[in-house]
Amino acid sequence: MASERRNDLDAAIDDIAAGRSSLLNLRGIGNSLEPLTQRRHELTGLRDVLLDRTDDPVNLPGWLTELPNIERIDAISTAIADAPAASHIRWTIRAEELDLFEYLTDLNNVDGIGIGPHTYAVTIDDIAVRCELGELELAKLRCGVNSLDVSKDQEALTREWKALDTLDNRIDSILRHQPSLEAADFFGCPLGRVPEPLSSLPRLTRLTLGAVWPETLPGWIFGLTELRNALIYYNGLRDLPDPVGPGRRLRHLVLDGNPLSSIPSWVWNLPELEHLSLRDCPVEELPQDLANAPNLTTLNIGSVFGSQQAPLALRVPPPEIAIQGLDAIRQYWRQQRSVGVDHLAEAKLLIVGEAGAGKTSFARKILDPDYVLDAYEDSTEGIDVMRWQFPGAVRVREDRAEYVKTCNLRINVWDFGGQEIYHSTHQFFLTKRSVYVLVTDERKEDTDFAYWLEIVDLLSDGSPVVIVQNRKQGRGQGLDLGALRQRYRNLVDTVSVDLADNSGLGDAVARIRRELEQLPHLGTPLPATWREVRLALEGDPHDHIAADEFFEICGRHGFTCRDDMEQLGGYLHDLGICLFFQDDSVLKRTVILKPEWGTDAVYRVLDDDAVTAAQGVFTEADLARIWHEDRFAPMRHELLALMERFGLCYRVPGSETWIAPQLLSPTRPVYAWPDDGNVVLRYEYDVMPKGIARRLIVALHDLLVPGDYVWRSGGVFTYRGTRAEVVEDHRRRHLHMRLHGVDPRVLLGIIDHALGVIHRSYPRLRYDTFLPCRCDVCVRAREPAMFTVAELEDFARTGDQIQCRTSRRLVDPRTVLDVLSPDDRRQLAVTTAPEPPAPRPEVFVSYKWKGAADALVDELQGRLGERGVPLVRDRSAMRYRDSIRGFMRRLGAGKYVVVVVDDAYLRSANCMFELTRIADDPAFADRVFPVILSDAAIFDPISRLDYIEHWEEQVNKLDAKLARVGPENLQGIHDERNLYETIRNTIARIVDVLADMNALMPETHRDSDFAELYRSLEVALTR
């Protein structure tokens, strides 16, 4: 770490010495300036210094101010011990340093001040008075925080400020006396208003208003004459005002995290606008006006939590296009302008379920209710695709108005073979923006609802699912739709049919039609030429055409530029209408018009008896036999490329043989593997798609150990003297890896990278990576305790030791993480850090902070600490659920928890989240030591109902909100709702247990100096 910092510092000095930079930015590097002393003669070009954030007072060396060109030192987040007197340097300092600075040198040198949440009222008053007296002349004023947890609301943020009222009273006067101000920064300063005197600052070029939450935004902001940068994020703004005033010179406009559904046209007409950021804004349209901003070079959409995430609510242009960037969006509009608009009315219906459930029969009944069931219907091999058309209606938006347009909807019905062998390949065709039907055979109980619903959830990015229960003349078993729906957000309905007499069929088809019509991409305006090309392709009888032919068809239908044709090709591919892999050297020459032609060919190989008997091994001769018809024969090369592309086969290096790992032997071969000196790693999935190991085998087949070292669910890879064994355990949702050899980290890095690519192909995949504990007990154990990497990193960041659940020893998380760090060149030895004396298990405390419990917990921590029982509390300011996960994991692993319950605790979602997690443990009553504050009415059964009612109300409120806003894009609210519901469902039980536990009131605890609590803990800790 220290050497890294040193390198960064050296690099920064190199830049200055070479004249590439005049700024020394020490953020993240630290303020240790000793290394600079040796190289100070190289710093003649240095003009600005930006100091790192720290509360440890920094001493600046005298020579720094003697450098010939130094002009500014920014210490806005830094405590200073010494500030060399030098009248030519302008300082930016934090408010707290003002007096000291005046004492050390001269306030005339200060041109920037930072007021933060911890600044006292007297300091703010003092600044205001100095401004009024003309003692301070500022170019830069910051009232805010360094970083912001955007999930916090105004109230939560307000509580963090010591003197927000004073700031609110004084800020107008401060601003009125600073006519030279160039930058005003209110970031995380929840004033609830935009100070009006900002409107009279003629030189203001940069204005930051982040999480200020003004009720409305005044129009003069965008009329300020000199304003270049406006960062107006996380303010709850639903619309933007028109500019009032002459200014139109904005270059950077950041509006992230505001619930803006549209951007007014004046924004697009700003002549100098270069950068516009709309991340996490539910903007529905990026309009044609965007072409009016000639200088716009960056447009951020999607999410701050992942740049590749699709924009929240975008309909026009289609997100598939918008995510490709500004050029693609401009191209889309340019085409529309020149050729007019048409609307897409085509979608996919995917029918999945177990073998024999009745999928094919149902698909045929959709197309023709008079279809007579065939008792000898063949089991579907691979996938069949049928076309279904019906007159329907789509929602169309034009000129910001929405209307319903009737049209002929064209649906491609994909009927998937239900046999197990097909499951892992189907995932390539489970597309987004489709409707799914899960057919279940009601007479059997073999439907693995979880598997199907999870896999659809994983791959389809929220596409709706309808369950069709096929009664087959039996009785319906009845499904607990409510329970399933709670788990699977995209399950929309269940319908029951009997295909023999068509009962329920009409309703089922109507339900499915309704879902299809509501798919968000239907009705999307597209350049009219696109639809014409699509119709031409649809009318083409061929299974595939050459890419050049596709481009010719485009040309015949009004396309003039190749880029536009490729854009359309990509869009059709993304929607699953055609297969056109434009980035593949072989496949880019072909457009597969009928994807089922490709899937047919692929499944023929996987279903072939000879290939199956050879356990997946095949040659070109086999392919010539399997693909002998005219349909396939000329395209063998491409079809093989398609199989490789899907990760279904690989060529054995140096041979003319291919292997389809899906057909390999299911049993692991016997081979020797040393017991000692292994590096072990495990991936654990929430939902594990089938065949991850097989895709890894295909991706890294070059590294497979030759011979019998690969099987259906695993393989052994080798690289530079290290071997890695990777095994998939689908039942337990694990991928397990052990490595042995000279330096396992390189091979581990290669595998981790390949897995990353596979993981990213599942948009919603969630998994944890685990590493084994390295304490001396675990090193010898067959089943060592495992830590998640996220948890280890969390502990390593704070410098804490982590407790092993097996030996209860404290372990240094960095020694466990070592295996993942290829930078660390130390040989990987299986030794552990020197063992510290066996510690006591940690005791955690859960309480509602910033409330009545604070003082009690302070006291408790002191008292128990004196007696050698350290109390672990999470005082970090980020307690929102995502941020407290690390703490929770630790809390879950720690044995004992003191829960300080007051009324606010029982009404706080964060606290109750914590408590429900603690209560998940079957040994809840043994682990928890409650301290009940007097306002928590848990001893009276009637008052207890109040809490249940409270959570009931919260659920209802959210439901009402959800019903109003519509379910799309409200993932966060859904999660919140699920949490509230869990709390409502469990609060009665939890409170019962707490009330039964003979908890003492705090006064009694205090009177006895917490002796009772200490005694109970002591007994538990020595158990």
Ligand X SMILES: Nc1nc2c(ncn2[C@@H]2O[C@H](COP(=O)(O)OP(=O)(O)OP(=O)(O)O)[C@@H](O)[C@H]2O)c(=O)[nH]1
Q: Is the Cα torsion angle 137, 140, 146, 147 positive or negative in sign?
A: positive
Closer to ligand X by CB, 359 or 745: give it: 359
Which entry of Mg ion, ligand X, none binds 373, CB below 5 to 8 A by partner kind?
ligand X
Answer for which of 10, 66, 99, 374 binds ligand X (CB under 6 A) is: 374
Which entry of ligand X, Mg ion, none binds 210, CB below 5 to 8 A by partner kind?
none
DSSP per-residue codes, 243-275:
P-SS-----EEE-TT---S---HHHHT-TT--E
What's the rounded Cα separation, in Å, for the pair 676 and 783? 13
Per CB under 6 A, 420 contacts ligand X: no
Closer to Mg ion by CB, 359 or 738: give it: 359
- Dihedral of the CA atoms 217, 223, 229, 234 (nearest 10)? 10
Please state the closest distance from residue 690 (CB atom) to ligand X, in A.
16
Please state the closest distance from residue 362 (CB atom) to Mg ion, in A.
9
Placement of tokens 């959210």 in the chain: 958
Which range touches Mg ion (CB under 5 A), out of 209-217, 259-267, 354-362, 704-712? 354-362
Closer to ligand X by CB, 415 or 644: give it: 415
Return the SS3 of 881. Answer: coil
Answer for which of 123, 380, 427, 460 binds ligand X (CB under 6 A) is: 380
Closer to Mg ion by CB, 417 or 1002: give it: 417
Helices (H), 707-786: 744-760, 776-780
Closer to ligand X by CB, 499 or 591: give it: 499
Closer to ligand X by CB, 186 or 422: give it: 422
Three state DSSP letters for 774-828: CCHHHHHCCCCCEEEHHHHHHHHHHCCCEECCCCCCEECHHHHHHHHCCCCCCCC
What is the number of residues in the chain?
Answer: 1023
Nearest residue to ligand X on Cβ basis = 418
Per CB under 5 A, 470 contacts Mg ion: no
Answer for which of 205, 208, 336, 360 binds ligand X (CB under 6 A) is: 360
Which range touches ligand X (CB under 6 A), out of 66-74, 411-419, 810-818, 900-908? 411-419
Per CB under 6 A, 14 contacts ligand X: no
Map the footprint of ligand X across residues 69-88, applying CB under 6 A. none
Per CB under 5 A, 361 contacts Mg ion: no
Tokens standing for residue 164: 């927000």
Answer for which of 65, 431, 469, 470 binds ligand X (CB under 6 A) is: 470
- Dihedral of the CA atoms 850, 852, 858, 859 (nearest 10)? 170
Return the SS3 of 477. Answer: coil
Please state the closest distance from residue 437 (CB atom) to ligand X, in A.
11
Per CB under 6 A, 358 contacts ligand X: yes
Binding mask 324-353 for ligand X (x = CB under 6 A): -----------------------------x
CB 979, CB 1008: distance < 8 Å: no
Closer to Mg ion by CB, 351 or 681: give it: 351
CB atoms within 10 A of CB 334: 15
Closer to ligand X by CB, 427 or 470: give it: 470
Answer for which of 473, 560, 831, 934 binds ligand X (CB under 6 A) is: 473
What's the rounded Cα separation, in Å, for the pair 347 and 455? 20
Answer for which of 108, 147, 297, 379 binds ligand X (CB under 6 A) is: 379
Closer to Mg ion by CB, 448 or 996: give it: 448
Radius of gyration of the chain (CA): 33
Map the footprint of ligand X across residues 958-1017, applying CB under 6 A. none
Tokens standing for residue 87: 């009248």
Which entry of ligand X, Mg ion, none binds 357, CB below 5 to 8 A by partner kind?
ligand X
Helices (H), 525-674: 528-539, 547-556, 562-574, 595-607, 609-613, 620-626, 636-645
Per CB under 6 A, 425 contacts ligand X: no
Distances (CA, A) of 1003 to 144, 856, 976, 1010: 39, 10, 35, 10
b vs e for 903-928, b when ≥16 Cβ sit within 10 Å of the residue's Cβ? bbbbbbebbbbbbbbbbeeeebeebb
Give the orientation angle of helix 562-574 with respect to helix 326-339, to 10 degrees: 110
Say how many residues touch ligand X, by CB under 6 A. 23
Amino acid letter for position 807: S
Closer to ligand X by CB, 2 or 375: give it: 375
CB 258, CB 236: distance < 8 Å: yes
- Asked if omega into 317 is within 30° of 0 (cis), the reply is yes
Please state the closest distance from residue 691 (CB atom) to Mg ion, in A.
21
CB 25, CB 46: distance < 8 Å: no
Answer for which of 71, 153, 239, 377 binds ligand X (CB under 6 A) is: 377
Give the orientation angle of helix 789-798 with respect to helix 885-893, to 10 degrees: 100
Q: Is the Cα torsion angle 742, 743, 746, 752 positive or negative in sign?
A: positive
Answer for which of 288, 336, 380, 590 binds Mg ion (CB under 5 A) is: 380
Which range touches Mg ion (CB under 5 A), out of 167-175, 353-361, 508-516, 713-721? 353-361
Per CB under 6 A, 504 contacts ligand X: no
Per CB under 5 A, 205 contacts Mg ion: no
Which range touches Mg ion (CB under 5 A), out of 198-206, 271-279, 374-382, 849-857? 374-382
Map the footprint of Mg ion across residues 837-866, applying CB under 5 A. none
Per CB under 6 A, 472 contacts ligand X: yes
Per CB under 5 A, 360 contacts Mg ion: yes
Closer to Mg ion by CB, 374 or 882: give it: 374
What's the rounded Cα separation, in Å, for the pair 900 and 887? 17
Say how many residues touch Mg ion, by CB under 5 A. 3
Answer for which of 341, 355, 484, 652 binds ligand X (CB under 6 A) is: 355
Which range touches ligand X (CB under 6 A), out of 230-238, 371-379, 808-816, 936-944? 371-379
Closer to ligand X by CB, 364 or 432: give it: 364
Per CB under 6 A, 357 contacts ligand X: yes
Closer to ligand X by CB, 214 or 356: give it: 356
Which entry of Mg ion, ligand X, none binds 282, CB below 5 to 8 A by partner kind?
none
Distances (CA, A) of 718 to 217, 242, 522, 662, 748: 61, 64, 49, 21, 10
b vs e for 625-658, b when ≥16 Cβ sit within 10 Å of the residue's Cβ? ebbeeeebeebbebbbbbbbbbbbbbeeeeeeeb
Per CB under 6 A, 424 contacts ligand X: no
- For 993-1000, the CB contacts below 8 A with 24+ separation are 993/919, 993/924, 993/925, 993/928, 994/899, 994/901, 994/928, 994/930, 994/932, 994/938, 995/938, 995/939, 995/944, 997/925, 997/928, 997/930, 999/930, 999/931, 999/932, 1000/931, 1000/932
Please state the closest distance from residue 631 (CB atom) to ligand X, in A.
22
What's the rounded Cα separation, in Å, for the pair 697 and 716? 9
Tokens standing for residue 193: 């208003």
CB 841, CB 895: distance < 8 Å: yes
Map the footprint of Mg ion across residues 921-940, applying CB under 5 A. none
Per CB under 6 A, 356 contacts ligand X: yes
Give the orientation angle of helix 636-645 with respect to helix 595-607, to 10 degrees: 80
Placement of tokens 């466990």 in the chain: 816
Which entry of Mg ion, ligand X, none binds 500, CB below 5 to 8 A by partner kind?
ligand X
Point out which residues bind ligand X (CB under 6 A). 353, 355-361, 373-375, 377, 379-380, 417-419, 470, 472-473, 498-500
Per CB under 5 A, residues contacting Mg ion are 359-360, 380
